[in-house]
Structure 1
């Protein structure tokens, strides 16, 4: 496979790729570097955040959401990269010492946000995880917050079945992706194991293709696993980075797979790069936040 580093930028902890089809733009973040990034054509824009940022998602209203340590904010995309204009939308998780991690919008444009104990120091250094204090929250377009789960370790992967009745949601502390039934009122059934531990790294972020298969980034595994709808491994896609963190389908035909990655002790030349490759199956569209 021929992998391409899309930009010269190298992240400390690249994450959260989002493909915006209306704008033909890719959004992603460097959590530890406190950066929100957008790629349009060959142009990369970077907004330097005041806090760690885990997701950067465009809104139906024309601005974007950024999930920061202190809350979920709107970012004025016309503001300068070194002076971003931020407006607080909500505080989803009031638990002191927590930070946001995984975030994605469902088909209705509601933001689902997973949080965890903060494990990143002010200089980007790793901090130990000592408690399962994270949660999962749903945020409506008007900023109303609905708590859904608690007691989480490291939330990663947020995907839904095509009919919206099944949620795939992982906890990296368990090395497991779980399956939940989504009730008509939006609340979740007790979890069932969908994909348990695998020797090739731990589960991080994922994307879903048009056939309902999940492409899961494997932290410390230097690969993606393409997982069948029953959770079985369909394919292993080897990567030239040590710590892939997430992926998303993009491009005009949704057949370009973008992969974010993190720096690692291995110091591979492409660690922290945003990678891309052409694939043989299109992905599922990302949904903007409804607010």
Structure 2
């Protein structure tokens, strides 16, 4: 497989790629650089956020959600990059010292948001000493439902086709777990599904049309394609040290976009957004329903 660096942009901590099928646009963020980015064709637009931003997700109403340290905000996509117009939508996690991390919408258009102790300092990583994070579900009317507590580094949010199972990782445990989603929307106990594994720790993931999960491996320089039974199907080697997440895009959903972070190894493409053509299409990303 041949990879391509999609843009010249290099992120400090690239994350959360989202492919918007109706507009054929790619959304992603640089958490540490406080940037929300959108690629349409060859044009990249960047909105400079006032705080760390962990996800950038378009809404059915025409604007977008950005998950900042102080809350979830609506971003006016017509506002200029250096003066983004933000409106507070909700505060999911009021815990002081926490920040947003993984975020994704389910098939019903509800936002699921994982939070964690802020580990981003002034150009350096801050050790995680508290499992102070949580997982929250946010409805289109801004109602917040807490689902999990005591999380370290929440990553990967994917659902089974029948919406009865959640795939979710806490990277501190180096394990992807499966949770049964009860009829009332609460989560059953965690069931270890995959990991630990020698090729790095679990970061963000995407699911293909066959129900296989593609997981970015932090410090592992690869993606792992995992079967529905939680077994390694293939290893996709990458020219970056710290892949952070991935998403399927393009007209046929066979272009795999991969975000990455800077690393002490200083490989030339660390922090780049990569794309690779693959042989199986992915599932469509869901916009926020509000």
In 1, Cα distance between the equivalents of 2:5 and 2:50? 27
In 1, Cα distance between the equivalents of 2:51 and 2:267? 27
TM-score norm. by structure 2 comes to 0.99
Q: Any residues of structure 2 matched to 1:1-291 within 5 Å, and which?
A: 1-121=1-121, 123-291=122-290
**1:186 shift after superposition:** 1.1
In 1, Cα distance between the equivalents of 2:33 and 2:130? 24
In 2, Cα distance between the equivalents of 1:73 and 1:95? 17
1:17-39 per-residue CA deviation (whole Å, 9 max, x = no partner) reads: 00000110000000000000000
**1:196 shift after superposition:** 1.7
In 2, Cα distance between the equivalents of 1:203 and 1:260? 14
In 2, Cα distance between the equivalents of 1:290 and 1:159? 17
1:62-116 per-residue CA deviation (whole Å, 9 max, x = no partner) reads: 0000000000000000000000000000000010000000000000000000000
Q: Tell me, what secondary structure is at the counterpart of 2:172?
A: helix
Q: Tell me, what secondary structure is at the counterpart of 1:173?
A: helix
1:112-158 per-residue CA deviation (whole Å, 9 max, x = no partner) reads: 0000000001x332111001000000000011100000000000000
Q: Tell me, what secondary structure is at the counterpart of 1:8?
A: coil
Q: Residue 33 of structure 1 contacts residue 124 of structure 1 at CA under 8 Å; is this kept in 2?
A: no
In 2, Cα distance between the equivalents of 1:124 and 1:6? 25
**Which stretch shifts more, 180-189 or 270-279?**
180-189
Structure 2 unaligned runs (5+)?
Answer: none
In 2, Cα distance between the equivalents of 1:255 and 1:39? 17
In 1, Cα distance between the equivalents of 2:279 and 2:181? 30
Q: Tell me, what secondary structure is at the counterpart of 1:66?
A: strand
In 2, Cα distance between the equivalents of 1:261 and 1:240? 10
**1:163 shift after superposition:** 1.0
Give the aligned CA root-mean-square deviation in angstroms: 0.5
Aligned residues: 290
Structure 1 unaligned runs (5+)?
Answer: none
Runs of 4 or more consecutive aligned structure 1 residues displaced over 4 Å after TM superposition: none
Q: Tell me, what secondary structure is at the counterpart of 1:147?
A: strand
In 2, Cα distance between the equivalents of 1:74 and 1:186? 25
Q: Residue 217 of structure 1 contacts residue 224 of structure 1 at CA under 8 Å; is this kept in 2?
A: yes
